[in-house]
Structure 1
């Protein structure tokens, strides 16, 4: 689903205003509970005009969720190659902190982030995870004895699960220990703890692709 061409021809400011109103309603009342008629009334156009922009309520919801994903990706920015394993981890932790700050500052995005993340991954979203994994493989942070596509899928699954877990904690007023997500990734990736990889995703002498205790 996507907005009809006439919506995409609206000025960017008008598109954002409509999506902002709809995002607020879906966030407050839930994706299933928000009233389409109330949304379009609040956005300032008639039901007849609304059907020139969207096929219906589900189409509008899809547009809002896609916009939420785009906003979250905008916070993360493209993954840039890191000079070493320590910088790789620092970049990932920085992205996590910035995303956390954005979600706290934008409660509508926070309310809809989990639903938005459950949508089929778009090409840009998938490309971010691919760039992350490719960089980790290059640095030896990520083990190289597994299929790349499996590593990408598993990494995305862990990060999305971590996002859902953190979102639930924030909604409950708790501060999640995001270091636990890093521990999950380290276990999945089987690379060195804080750098010094030999380019294979394994530490010399550990024999198993994980850190020796």
Structure 2
């Protein structure tokens, strides 16, 4: 994570550095983008950059944390749905929002896998969604909670990666084409 001096910059300066770094990491790869080229593109000296970040991996971590935070902000908190229909609609709308965002932002699309690899994003969101699904009778309640949470997270991550790969190879992929991911979740959650 960034060094304390980075947080003392204005929000605009932090945003500029993170945006430049995000574009560079997206263009040249999360594991291969050059730290020197990134700080040069951001218009800061190497000595200044080391006052903000311990190095390339620290800057990458900041960029990926920012991406996760922006996606979490886009999705918002899980609001308890009052019905099965509303539950699935909310889940699909969240997926469609993420799909639209990634389809419209090639830099975030290029880095979303790396962001997911570095954290356990959305655990609280998943816990709330699962609790809501159990209350509505959508999600089985005969499975140990941590196993259900882990298996749901694994299926969602797999479906997300599959959907992201589809989006990368065919930018015209519609959210409706991704419906099989929801069917997979429904089969995981079903008691039959």
> TM-score, normalised on structure 1?
0.86
Question: 2:165, 2:74 → 1: CA distance?
Answer: 20
- The range that moved more, 94-103 or 113-122, is 113-122
Matching residue within 145, 148, 153 for 2:145: 148
Whose relative contact order is higher, 1 or 2, with alpha carbons under 8 Å and at least 6 apart? Answer: 2
Query: Residue in 2 aligned with 1:194?
Result: none
Question: 1:151, 1:52 → 2: CA distance?
Answer: 43
Q: Deviations over 1:181-202 (max 9, x none)?
A: 1111011100xxxxxxxxxxxx
Query: Residue in 1 aligned with 2:168?
Result: 171
Q: Deviations over 1:61-118 (max 9, x none)?
A: 1111111111111111110000111100000000011110011111110000011111
Question: 1:165, 1:41 → 2: CA distance?
Answer: 35
Question: 2:133, 2:52 → 1: CA distance?
Answer: 42
What is the DSSP-based 3-state SS (H/G/I as helix, E as strand, rest coil) of the residue aligned with 2:184?
helix
What is the DSSP-based 3-state SS (H/G/I as helix, E as strand, rest coil) of the residue aligned with 2:31?
coil
Question: 1:13, 1:155 → 2: CA distance?
Answer: 37
Structure 2 unaligned blocks of 5 or more: none
| Deviation of 1:120 (Å) | 2.4
Question: 1:134, 1:119 → 2: CA distance?
Answer: 25
Aligned pairs for 1:114-153 within 5 A = 114-121=113-120, 125-153=122-150
Query: Residue in 2 aligned with 1:92?
Result: 91
What is the DSSP-based 3-state SS (H/G/I as helix, E as strand, rest coil) of the residue aligned with 1:166?
helix
What is the DSSP-based 3-state SS (H/G/I as helix, E as strand, rest coil) of the residue aligned with 1:24?
helix
Question: 1:185, 1:74 → 2: CA distance?
Answer: 23
Aligned pairs for 1:34-113 within 5 A = 34-113=33-112
Query: Residue in 2 aligned with 1:188?
Result: 188
- Specify which structure has the higher proportion of helix: 2
> TM-score, normalised on structure 2?
0.95
Structure 1 unaligned blocks of 5 or more: 191-208
Aligned pairs for 1:6-45 within 5 A = 6-45=5-44
The alignment of Structure 1 onto Structure 2 pairs a total of residues equal to 189
